[in-house]
Amino acid sequence: MAADTSVEMFSKVLENQMLQSTKVVEEQLDAEIQKLDQMDEDELERLKERRLEALKKSQQQKQEWLSKGHGEYREIPSEKDFFQEVKESKNVVCHFYKDTTFRCMILDKHLATLSKKHIETKFLKLNAEKSPFLCERLCIKVIPTLALVKDGKTQDFIVGFTDLGNTDDFTTETLEWRLGCSGIINYSGNLMDPPFQSQKKFGTSVTKLDKKTIRGKKYDSDSDDD
């Protein structure tokens, strides 16, 4: 009997919370509608112009990204190209891979998908065997490794699949979430809610390899002379 009473009380509390949330949303919508109703023609015209200008800037930014190689997942031939690419773009994801590593092919599939969805970020791949200087400088010892570069500086690394659920079967959404945690893409989901089927099962934790990275190191075109 007591259990039934507790359930009933909980249901009522939950119902009241939902009603309150709905009321808040309705009040916000009413306020917006009232604000629009009170605008004269000149104000509405200015609002329209601002929105058109914002849309125009957004399209210009998109075209600029595409001109710099965003919107596709592509391979760069050398370490020299890496330095140039990270100087050109604010956000870069670079996959250090080997042809003989099966997990690299798994990453390729997901990165190709994300490159089209997140054109604000440049997605690259570089053969680790052809870039010994970079691998040594970045302390890359596990393949695959994703180097996440923001404003010409290493922001973070994703080493292997540990942060992706420790499984080969992770989803594109899981990789997207992990990139979002580093701020290297514009992530619209909830960073506090990783899209694992069972977080406890995988025992996942996001590790920022502070001792093994050169995060904060600025890349210059003459870096390979260091």
- Long-range Cβ pairs for the range 16-23 (8 Å, 24+): none
Does the pLDDT value for residue 63 go beyond 80?
A: yes
Residues 70, 64: Cα–Cα separation, whole Å: 9
Name the 3-class secondary structure at 141: coil
Burial 2-36 (b: 16+ CB within 10 A, else e): eeeeeeeeeeeeeeeeeeeeeeeeeeeeeeeeeee
Residues 164, 170: Cα–Cα separation, whole Å: 6
pLDDT tens column, 167-213: 999 999 999 999 999 999 999 999 988 887 544 444 444 444 343 33
* 45-49, 65-69, 102-106, 194-198: the lowest-pLDDT one: 194-198
Cα 31 to the center of its chain, rounded Å: 34
How confident is the model over 144-160, as a mean pLDDT? Answer: 96
Does the pLDDT value for residue 57 go beyond 50?
A: yes
* 104-113, 151-160, 188-197: the lowest-pLDDT one: 188-197
How confident is the model over 46-56, as a mean pLDDT? Answer: 80
CB of 174 closer than 8 Å to CB of 196: yes
